[in-house]
A and B are shown apart, each in its own frame.
Chain A
């Protein structure tokens, strides 16, 4: 089955000019390659790191998960409520990576 998903980042995840993601694009609609098993979020993270992140990958992933300070939302809910790394992606899922802000 095809896995159509979109993922969105906030401006701050793109970084202060050091754009983490290619071309400073916030919204990505992606179609994941077919595979026998279901796509899990942890597979998606690696896929994004390989295919989208152009530089400073350590500011996105640390080990097999996102770096501290990035919140992952699956369809507007904290991914921890959804099984975190092992969540199975469904078609048209919306995944959001937000970098927490600290300015005031």
Chain B
């Protein structure tokens, strides 16, 4: 690095330090309620202040809602679990509506890739706790609500204690294990659970354990196999889709708080953004044999939900370790291969749609992992043709390797396994790039985009 580059680097680092200091100040400045105070029964309001009346005037004049409804909202405490795509719109509407106390739980920090859907966070809060960030934004809209950010992972050891201080719980989480945990905790604590979810172009909404209706377990006594579960970081999600479902969760919480309208108890709302349809279907009633809310429940305290679901209680990707060390190369080693013009066949196993985002600087064949097993013959022909082109030796003695790559280095390992089977008779070396494109960006080319 020359002097100028160093100076620039220093300047950037100083900016980052300033930003982090500001974040720290903001976190400290935030008014939070000591946990002991939460346990105390809050005094119920029976009237509205002059400011309340102006602020909420447009809903005070609503037939069926009125002052009575507003006071009910003011006396209701709502806990939102998950400060993400669902939690943000839910939180801001509940804050705006004048909910008494709003608790927000999230273990995670704000990342740039959250901002297209998690609309209460901001660019300058990247790295800040999501729960604190949501509370900041809500506080600016309506400082009269009491806010409690929880920067923690909800688990069996803390769920019941936290839930106790709230009247209505919103499930705005992103994983199966936490959904079962929240369900059981809400049944045991006797709280209604307003559950939302979203993925790709679709959303779902149900109210559990309310009005004599079923709980999540009544519907899904067994967790889904983990390979059938897709999260937003794998499957993608259009930002506005959780926005719509999260807003509906806020609406349901307000309706439950004020006792107006009908709830989505024993009903499932399915939203299909592409078709532009909302479909509401009738669900089964509470199940007598349900392990947690049935007649003879066997779950009387919270269990280990990660074990029960065979999946982690986060939507962070876990790294697979399938291949031997000899079947893998690092991104650095691969960059040397490219630089030294070492012949090889590069197979990018990502879905075709992702190729437009970024690609390695070497010609490649795209064989999406998901369609690999469907097209074995074509894949084999395609690869052998390419190998033959590049190998100087005669047929059936290919000297160049096949290198698989994907976004993060999981699918590429599975692809290596499959390709080795497909090419078993042809003595081809098949390897993958450890850590995929993420590693390439981290260790070889810092300008390479990460998604």
Interface residues of A (CB under 8 A from B): 10-12, 15-19, 54-55, 58-59, 67-71, 73, 76-78, 80-81, 96, 98-104
Tell yes or no: B174 within 8 A of A by CB.
yes
Q: Which of A18, A67, A71 contacts B370 (CB 8 A)?
A: A18
Given A69-B223, A71-B268, are A104 and B197 also a contact pair (CB < 8 Å)?
Answer: yes
Chain B residues positioned under 8 Å from A18 (CB to CB): 370
Whether A55 and B374, one on each chain, are in contact in the complex, defined by CB atoms closer than 8 angstroms, is yes
Number of interface residues of B (CB under 8 A): 54
Whether B370 and A76, one on each chain, are in contact in the complex, defined by CB atoms closer than 8 angstroms, is no
Given A11-B202, A76-B281, A104-B87, are A59 and B225 also a contact pair (CB < 8 Å)?
Answer: yes
Q: Which of A17, A19, A69 contacts B228 (CB 8 A)?
A: A69
Given A16-B370, A76-B281, are A104 and B242 also a contact pair (CB < 8 Å)?
Answer: yes
Given A11-B202, A100-B220, A102-B199, are A59 and B228 also a contact pair (CB < 8 Å)?
Answer: yes
Whether B232 and A67, one on each chain, are in contact in the complex, defined by CB atoms closer than 8 angstroms, is no
Q: Which of B200, B281, B351 contacts A12 (CB 8 A)?
A: B200
4 new A-B pairs (CB below 8 Å) besides A67-B228, A102-B176?
A11-B202, A68-B224, A102-B175, A102-B231
Whether A17 and B370, one on each chain, are in contact in the complex, defined by CB atoms closer than 8 angstroms, is yes
Tell yes or no: B128 within 8 A of A by CB.
no
A53 to B220, CA, bound (A): 23
Whether B219 and A71, one on each chain, are in contact in the complex, defined by CB atoms closer than 8 angstroms, is yes
Whether B225 and A104, one on each chain, are in contact in the complex, defined by CB atoms closer than 8 angstroms, is no
Tell yes or no: B373 within 8 A of A by CB.
yes
- In the complex formed, the residue of B with least CB distance to A13 is B228
Q: Which of A58, A76, A102 has the most chain B CB atoms closer than 10 A to its own CB? A: A102
Distance in Å: Cβ of B360 to nearest Cβ of chain A: 20
Q: Which of A71, A76, A100, A103 contacts B235 (CB 8 A)?
A: A103
Whether B282 and A77, one on each chain, are in contact in the complex, defined by CB atoms closer than 8 angstroms, is yes
Whether A67 and B173, one on each chain, are in contact in the complex, defined by CB atoms closer than 8 angstroms, is no
Interface string of B150-184 (1 = CB under 8 A from A): 00000000000000000000001111100100000
Chain B residues positioned under 8 Å from A15 (CB to CB): 228, 230, 370
A3 to B197, CA, bound (A): 35
Selecting from B78-86, B186-194, B418-426, the interface stretch reads B78-86
Interface residues of B in 254-301 (CB under 8 A from A): 268, 270, 272, 274, 279-284
Whether A99 and B228, one on each chain, are in contact in the complex, defined by CB atoms closer than 8 angstroms, is yes
A19 to B279, CA, bound (A): 23
Interface residues of B (CB under 8 A from A): 82, 84-87, 172-176, 179, 196-204, 219-225, 227-232, 234-235, 237, 242, 268, 270, 272, 274, 279-284, 315, 351, 368, 370-371, 373-374
Whether B223 and A78, one on each chain, are in contact in the complex, defined by CB atoms closer than 8 angstroms, is no
Q: Which of B199, B220, B374 has the most chain A CB atoms closer than 10 A to its own CB? A: B199
Q: Which of A12, A67, A68, A101 has the most chain B CB atoms closer than 10 A to its own CB? A: A101
- In the complex formed, the residue of A with least CB distance to B279 is A76
Whether B272 and A10, one on each chain, are in contact in the complex, defined by CB atoms closer than 8 angstroms, is yes
Whether B82 and A101, one on each chain, are in contact in the complex, defined by CB atoms closer than 8 angstroms, is no
Given A68-B222, A68-B224, are A104 and B202 also a contact pair (CB < 8 Å)?
Answer: no
Whether A100 and B370, one on each chain, are in contact in the complex, defined by CB atoms closer than 8 angstroms, is no
A104 to B222, CA, bound (A): 21
A101 to B284, CA, bound (A): 18
A90 to B198, CA, bound (A): 33
Whether A78 and B370, one on each chain, are in contact in the complex, defined by CB atoms closer than 8 angstroms, is no
Whether A69 and B230, one on each chain, are in contact in the complex, defined by CB atoms closer than 8 angstroms, is no
Whether B370 and A104, one on each chain, are in contact in the complex, defined by CB atoms closer than 8 angstroms, is no
- In the complex formed, the residue of B with least CB distance to A60 is B228
Given A76-B281, A81-B282, are A101 and B201 also a contact pair (CB < 8 Å)?
Answer: no
Chain A residues positioned under 8 Å from B234 (CB to CB): 16
Q: Which of B87, B175, B224 contacts A67 (CB 8 A)?
A: B224
- In the complex formed, the residue of B with least CB distance to A73 is B281
Given A12-B202, A55-B373, are A100 and B197 also a contact pair (CB < 8 Å)?
Answer: yes
